[in-house]
Structure 1
C-alpha cells in the first residue's frame, strides 16, 4: 500500500466502545489503519471490526490483552507491526474507574487503577518507542480533567491520572525530537456505567459547572485526538482540556 499522511497505523487501547470507539471511528475515517486492543469487550470489538472493514477491507484488526499483565504489552506492538508493517500512533485510552474511599483502599484496587491508568501506558509506550521513533510518530494519552482538582473518594484514580500527565511530559522529553507525546483531558462527556453516584441531581450540578452549560460528546474527545495526531506537528508535552470550560469554574 502506498503510504500517505492520512493512512497512518494506529494502536489504541480500549478502543471497542464509548470514547475509545469514537476515537477509533474518527481516525479510521481519516484514513488510518487501526489495531484495536480490548480486554473483556470482545463482542463490541468484533462488531466494530466488521463495521469498519466493510467500509475499507482489512483496515482494522483486533487483539485481546490484559494490560495489567506487563509481559503481554510488547505483543500488541509486535502484532501491529506484523499486520500493518509500521506504527505511527499509540493512543493510551484504556482505563479503570471507580471510587476508593480512604480507610478502605486495598492493594488490588491500587494495582487495577494505577495499572490501567499509569503503568500500562508507561510500559506500552516503552515497547512502542523504537517503532514510533522510526516513523516519527506520536503518543496520545487520555487523562482526566480532575488531575488538578481530584474528585473526592477517587484517591487512587486521581493519583494515577495525575501521574499520566507527568508521564506524558516525561515521555515528550525522552522521545524528542522524533516522537511527539501529548494528552487529552476529558470533562463530562459520558457518565460512567453502573454507577449510582451519578444521579440526575449530580449530573445537573456538573453541567452547571461547565461554562458551556452542557455535556460534551465522545466525538469531541475524538476530534481533539485527531488534531493532536494530524494537525499539531509543533505541539508536544501538552495536555488539552476538552471539558466545556469546567476546569475554570470548579
Structure 2
C-alpha cells in the first residue's frame, strides 16, 4: 500500500473522529497529502495533521467547516487548494446519528440527520468536483450497512445513508471515468459515536447475524478507502464495499 497514492491530495471530512482519523492515517501511509477536516475540534485536527506529517513525511493542513454550509465548504476547499493543491481524493466521512423512534421524531430531528449525512455529501462533493474534472479524482462516500438492512430507531440515518448510495451510483455515471466514485458501507464499527449505545445487548443484536460476530474497528476500514482511491480500483465505478463482517451480503 505504501506509495500507491503518492502525489494525490486527499480531503477527509469528519477527520477527527475515530473512523476519519484511521482513514487519514492510511491515506498518509500510502503517500497522499492530507487535509484534515473538522467542525469544532481544532486541537485534535492539528495534532492529527502533525502526526501524519511526522510519521509519513506527507504535507498536511487542517480546515474547519460545517459540511452543510455552502460558503464554509467553499472556503475550506479553497484553503486546501492554496496549501496543498487541487483535491484529487475526497472521502465524505462526516456524519451524524442519533437513535429516535419515528413516532417520537420531529421534523427538525429528521432534517438534522439528513442535512449532515446526505446534504453534506452533496455540498462537499459539489465544491471539490470542479478541480477533479480538470485533472482526475476519486471520491469515496461513507454510507452504512443500515442503508441496506435498516434498523429500529435509525430511520432517518438509514434513509440518509441509502441516499448516499444512490448519489454514488448516479454521480459515478455522470462524472466518470475521469472521476471515480464509489462507497463503503461499514458497520457496526467500534467508535466513540457508537459506544454510548453499545450495551452488550445492543452489540449482540447487531452482530449475531454476521460472520465475524463482533464489531469492526476503524483500522479495518481505512485500507478499503485506500484501495478505492488507488490505481488497483480502476474498474470500480458506483460500487459499494460492505465492510461489516458479513452482516450484510449484497
Q: Determine helix, strand or coil for the equivalent of 2:105.
A: coil
Matched-pair contact (CA < 8 Å) for 1:118–1:164:
yes
Aligned residue number for residue 106 of structure 1: 106
Q: Are the aligned partners of 1:191 and 1:198 in contact in 2 as well (CA < 8 Å)?
A: no
Q: Indicate the residue corresponding to 2:189 in structure 1.
A: 189
| Residue of structure 1 equivalent to 2:174 | 174
Secondary structure in 2 matching 1:124: helix
After TM superposition, the structure 1 stretch with the greater mean CA deviation from structure 2, 81-90 or 55-64, is 55-64
In structure 2, the CA distance between the partners of 1:45 and 1:227, relative to structure 1 (3 Å rule), is same
Equivalent residue, structure 1, for 2:237: 236
Q: What's the CA shift for 1:146?
A: 0.9
Corresponding residue SS for 2:162: helix
The separation in 2 between residues aligned to 1:194 and 1:84, in whole angstroms, is 33
Aligned to 1:242, what secondary structure does the other structure show?
coil
TM-score for the superposition, normalised by structure 1: 0.92
Measured in 2, the distance between the counterparts of 1:5 and 1:144 equals: 25
Distance 1:35 1:214, change over 3 A: same
Task: Map 1:62-211 to 2 at 5 A.
Answer: 62-193=62-193, 196-211=196-211
* Native 8 Å contact 1:17 1:44 kept in 2: no
Q: Is the 8 A contact 1:14 1:93 kept in 2?
A: yes
Distance 1:207 1:4, change over 3 A: closer
| Change in CA separation of 1:160 and 1:5 when aligned onto 2, cut-off 3 Å | closer
Distance 1:51 1:203, change over 3 A: same
Instruction: Deviation per CA, 1:19-47: give whole Å up to 9, x if none.
Output: 10000000001111011110022222121
1-structure distance, mates of 2:37, 2:8: 17
Q: Deviations over 1:55-109 (max 9, x none)?
A: 3566110011112222211222211111112211111000001113122222332
Structure 1 residues without counterparts, runs of 5 or longer: none
Residue aligning to 2:219: 219
CA contact (8 A) 2:18 2:218 kept: yes
Count how many residue pairs are aligned between Structure 1 and Structure 2.
Answer: 247
Q: Which residue of 2 aligns with 1:7?
A: 7
Give SS of 2:215's match: coil
CA 1:133–1:32: 2 relative to 1, 3 Å: same
User: How much has 1:194 moved relative to structure 2?
Assistant: 7.2
- Cα contact 2:5–2:30 (8 A) shared by 1: no
- Which residue in 2 is equivalent to 1:27? 27
Q: Residues 47 and 192 of structure 1: is their aligned pair in 2 closer, same or farther, counting only changes over 3 Å?
A: closer
